[in-house]
A = this chain, B = another copy of it.
């Protein structure tokens, strides 16, 4: 079995699980989330022949991420982490009028969506000699829509972080990319609040997100992509 390790912070049942399944074909997969139930759900969706392990971690707490990172290295002492995916949802999806929000709402998003990404990236970039660091972004990274005052700022900031790191670490053999997930992901949770998709393939398949991340990882360094958008064929944009 490969000694390569892919670390996924935000290994929830949507994009996270799809990314985990995709990398599980070639990598040991470290699944990180705050929520143990989430971790076992994702882990149980992986092929039985794959190797994975859950590590509790809170994306809004640099110390917690650091502890998980050490635990990963202890768990696979011969392994090399060459894929790091920051897939945490930031402040969570809770649109609403600006005056109904508090600075604490925003601060939560900035901590979970930016500060955690910063700490996670440092752990990877301190050690990696080569490999891929991907940040999962969203439409709200490109446009600050009305009622998105606690959702969009952390997404913009995460995109900025991905750019600054791509420019610093690209020449050092680390591929840093950012994705724009533009549309609803096809999960049970989304179906529970938004109903079924109106059309086949009208929601983004988690496994297709996974394929895209593996594609980014496998790009040769003469032709790296910094930003990749993904949306269903029917999506308005």
By the criterion CB–CB under 8 Å, are B144 and A122 in contact? no
Residues of A within 8 A of B (CB): 62, 97-99, 103, 106-107, 110, 114-115, 118-119, 121-122, 125-126, 140, 143-149, 152-165, 167-171, 173, 175, 186, 201-205, 208-209, 211-212, 215, 219-237
Whole-angstrom distance from the CB of A163 to the nearest CB of chain B? 3
A175 / chain B contacts, CB cutoff of 8 Å: 233
Nearest CB in chain B: distance from A145 CB, A? 6
How distant is A196 from chain B, measured CB to nearest CB, in Å? 14
Q: Contact: A103 with B125, CB < 8 Å?
A: no
| Chain B residues positioned under 8 Å from A232 (CB to CB) | 221-224
Closest A-B pairs by Cβ, 8 of them: A144-B163, A208-B223, A153-B157, A146-B167, A144-B164, A156-B160, A156-B156, A144-B160
Task: Determine which residue in A121, A219, A223 has the highest number of CB atoms from chain B within 10 A of its CB, and name it.
Answer: A223
